[in-house]
Structure 1
Amino acid sequence: MNRPIHDAFQAVQASPELKERTRAYLHARRTPARPRYRSLLAAAACLVLVFFGTGGALAWFTPVSAVSVEAGTSLELTLNRFDRVLEVQGDSTQDQELADRLKLVYLSYTDALETILASQEVSQALDGGAELAVTVAGQNEQHCQDLMEDTQSCAGHGTCSSADWSQVTAAQQSGLSLSKYQMLLQLQALDPSITAQQVGDCSMHELRQWLADLTGSSQETSSSSTSGNGQGSGGGQDCGNGQGNGNSGGHHGNGGHHGGR
């Protein structure tokens, strides 16, 4: 180097601040940047901690609504406030096996319903004439209304009704789905001798026919009792079990009760 230039640079003195900034810059150049995904994982972990620390876990695992789906099979979905499936109960061993195979737990309600309706068992049942009946019960009326709207948009054809939240426990104690429990209440209003076991043995189509028969028989009781024609007023529906309890015409195996005496 030219001596005058060398002497000139020798006279230049870096300030302590400049030295420190230069040292930091060189250190940053030598240290590899951490992968971005680590930062994302850290942020996600923080969100999870906030979620569970603010009662989110309690909200997630607290059931606030139940939906009964009757379509050849009988499944009852328990939902949390985010409309996610917490539990699925089948009415029979076959229904429970279907629920387990479909893996509905933690799905959104609409995804769960679409999965049920798209299953081979339910599709075949509906094609064979089975009726779709969905019953919704919840602690919040507006929430129930939203679920019913979701049901109608997903299911299309079929019946959709709502039940009181208190009926969820009563239905479980009776061993019935919500849909069948509501039918039990309607049937027992016309014939108190009807049992939950009898209702459980029937399809929804058979239960509606039974209800129609009983409604018609209640309107014809007076004329039947005076005609003396020896025929009962029941509709003859035994729901495939061939047994009755002996009270209401063809349903219960006691035809001619009104007119035979």
Structure 2
Amino acid sequence: MKTGVVLECNGGRAVVLDGSGGFRAVSARPEWRPGDVVPLPGQRGKAGALAAAAACLVLALAGGGSWLWLSPAALVSMDVNPSVELTLNRFERVVSARALNAEGAALLEAGTVNGMPAERAVAALLDSGYLEPYLERENYVTLTVQSEDEDLAGRLLALVDETASASVGAQARVSCHGVDGALVEEAHSYGMTAGKYLALLELQAADPGVDITEYAHCGIGEIEEQIERCHMSHGSGAGNGGAWTFPGEGCGAGEHHGDRHH
């Protein structure tokens, strides 16, 4: 059975976003609310399609639901080794998902999260069988939330933190950060998520001589381990001459060389 996401209900009719990205006007059940995933009736003929399109236009102009649904309101990033970003609307539903490395692309190909509430999308990604070996190897999950709406940002931050912690349990450490738009833009200039960029800035703070682009292909766990080695090296008085793990040794540069961002 085909399903769609309710954008707007008005006068017993609903505008629904179908799986192809189009809008359909259908009879609404009393319990339907914007954001609900609902069953869709079979396709109708040309006349029915034109009537549906007209009804969609009327409802959209009256309620503005489709524009609210499609308008970005927040950005959530998630890093293990796969790096992905989820764009959310004001209903806290995923309107688009994109990968920032090859592993992230494979994760998104394993199952769609479009239309899901933020917490379900995060849980679906973390519970993916594709992600399991990365969680075992990395032992770290980093999430960030960015929104101009402070209330929305705070609510999402608490939500994804709770969801991620429940999903991974004792398998990995979870860290969640609220970030602003400027930091997201800086991260994107390096071809990475805000979460990975924060971790690399921490590494650079521990050793100002580090070129963060040399670690851009690393997983979050590998970066965190390098930060700990840096602190231990300085703490023992070894400084930059201590026992370092350089890209190519601790981050599997040979294995993931094709994923570097320069």
TM-score by length of 2: 0.64
Q: CA deviation at 1:130?
A: 3.0
What letter matches 2:58 in structure 1? L
Q: Which of the residues 196, 204, 217 maps onto 1:188?
A: 204
Counterpart secondary structure, 2:214: helix
The letter of the residue matching 1:140 is D
Task: Give the corresponding residue for 1:97.
Answer: 106
Counterpart check, 1:131 vs 2:147: no
Residue of structure 1 aligned with 2:88, choices 79, 83, 91: 79
Q: Which runs of 4+ in 1 moved over 6 A?
A: none
Of 76, 93, 102, which residue of structure 2 is paired with 1:67?
Answer: 76
Are 1:155 and 2:171 matched, yes or no? no
In structure 2, what is the Cα distance between the partners aligned to 1:99 and 1:241?
Answer: 23
Who is 1:173 aligned against?
189
Tell me, yes or no, if structure 1 residue 164 matches structure 2 residue 180: yes
Aligned partners of 1:137 and 1:164 also within 8 Å: yes
Letter of the 2:111 partner, please give it.
Answer: L
Change (3 A) 1:56 1:192: farther
For the structure 1 residues 109 and 42, does the alpha-carbon distance in structure 2 shift closer, same or farther, using more than 3 Å as the test?
A: closer
Give the Cα–Cα distance (whole angstroms) in 2 for the partners of residues 166 and 109 of structure 1.
Answer: 22
Cα distance, 1:187–1:52 mapped onto 2, change above 3 Å: farther
TM-aligned CA deviation for residue 153 of structure 1: 2.7
Q: Which residue of 1 aligns with 2:253?
A: 241
CA contact (8 A) 1:72 1:130 kept: no
Structure in which a larger fraction of residues adopt strand = 2
Is 1:90–1:99's contact at 8 Å kept on the other side of the alignment? yes
Partner of 1:214: 230
Q: CA RMSD of the aligned region, Å?
A: 3.0
1:100 alignment partner AA: E
CA deviations 1:60-88 (Å, max 9, x no partner) are 22222211112342211121222121222
Number of equivalenced pairs:
198
Q: Which has the higher helix share?
A: 1
Which structure has the higher relative contact order (CA within 8 Å, separation 6+)? 2
User: Is residue 206–residue 237 contact of structure 1 (8 Å, CA) maintained in 2?
Assistant: no
Shift of 1:179: 1.0
Structure 1 runs not aligned, ≥5 long: 1-38, 226-230, 243-261
Distance 1:195 1:101, change over 3 A: same
Alpha-carbon spacing, 1:53–1:200, altered in 2? closer, same or farther (3 Å): farther
Q: Which has the larger radius of gyration?
A: 1
Supply the AA of the counterpart residue of 1:241: A
Alpha-carbon distance in 1 for matches of 2:56, 2:67: 16
* Contact residue 72 and residue 89 of structure 2 kept, 8 A: yes
The SS at the match of 1:168 is helix
| Superposition deviation, residue 140 in structure 1 | 2.2
In the alignment, structure 1 residue 202 sits paired with structure 2 residue 238? no
Please tell me the residue identity of whatever aligns with 1:106. G
Deviation at 1:101, TM superposition (A): 3.5
Kindly provide the CA deviation profile for residues 110-156 of structure 1, in whole angstroms up to 9, marking residues without a partner as x.
12112111211113332445322222222122212211221133222
Aligned equivalent of 2:125: 116
Letter in 1 for 2:202: Q
Q: Secondary structure at the match of 2:154?
A: helix
Give the deviation of 1:204 after TM superposition.
0.9
Q: Shift in Å at residue 192 of structure 1?
A: 3.8
**Per-residue deviation, residues 33-66 of structure 1 (Å, max 9, x unmatched):** xxxxxx7567657686344455444432222221
TM-score by length of 1: 0.64
